[in-house]
Amino acid sequence: MTVRMHTPNLLARAGTVTALTLVTLGGTTVAPGETGNAEAASVSAYALRIAASKRGAPYQYGAQGPYRFDCSGLTLYSFKRAGRALPRTAAEQYVRTRHLPASLRRRGDLVFFRSARGIYHVGIYAGRDRMWHAPKAGSVVRLERIWSGAVSYGRVG
C-alpha cells in the first residue's frame, strides 16, 4: 500500500504557510530585514542570464547594446534589463557597487579588473572563476576564466 501526501496542497487549502513549513518543504525563507539581499540576488541572477544571452555579440567601443557591447556597456545593459541602473564606465560602476571579498562573491556580482591607474575592465561573475564579458575590439561577448588576481568584486544593490 502506497501512501501519498500532498502537503503543499493541504497547506494551500489551509491558507497558512510558516517559515518552518517552507524550510521543511525545501522552500526559500527570508528573515525580516533581508528582503533587499534576496531581491538583489534575483536581480543579479537575471542580469547574469541577460549577459549570457548576448553570447557572440560583437565588441564595439562605447556600445551599450542590444546587439554590440563594450565591457561596461554589457553590464549596464544587463542590469538595466533586470531593473537596476548603473553608470556608464567600469570605474563609475565600481564606485556604485558594494565591495566584497572574493570569498563572498556570488553569481551575478560584478568583477572589476584593476591596475595601478585604476579600474579598467568589468564583467559579470558566472561562478567557478568564470565571467561573462565583452573583452576587446575584434572579439565577442563570451564566458571566460578570470585570468588575473588583480580583481575586485562588487554587488549591485
Q: Which of 96, 70, 99 is nearest to 85 (CA)?
A: 96
Q: Which of 23, 20, 25 is nearest to 7 (CA)?
A: 25
For the chain, give the longest Cα–Cα distance. Answer: 72
**Per-10-residue mean pLDDT for the chain, 157 residues long?**
43 41 38 57 95 98 98 98 98 98 97 97 98 98 98 97
Please name each of the domains of the chain with its CATH number.
Answer: 33-155 (3.90.1720.10)
How many whole angstroms separate alpha carbon 33 and alpha carbon 45?
20
Instruction: Report pLDDT for 20.
Output: 38
Instruction: Report pLDDT for 35.
Output: 44
Instruction: Report pLDDT for 72.
Output: 98
Instruction: Report pLDDT for 36.
Output: 60
Instruction: Report pLDDT for 26.
Output: 39
Residue found under cell 563570451? 142
Q: Is the CB of residue 94 less than 8 Å from the CB of residue 119?
A: yes
DSSP string, 42-84: HHHHHHHHHHHHTTTPBB-TT-BSSS-B-HHHHHHHHHHHTT-
pTM, entire model? 0.76
DSSP 104: G
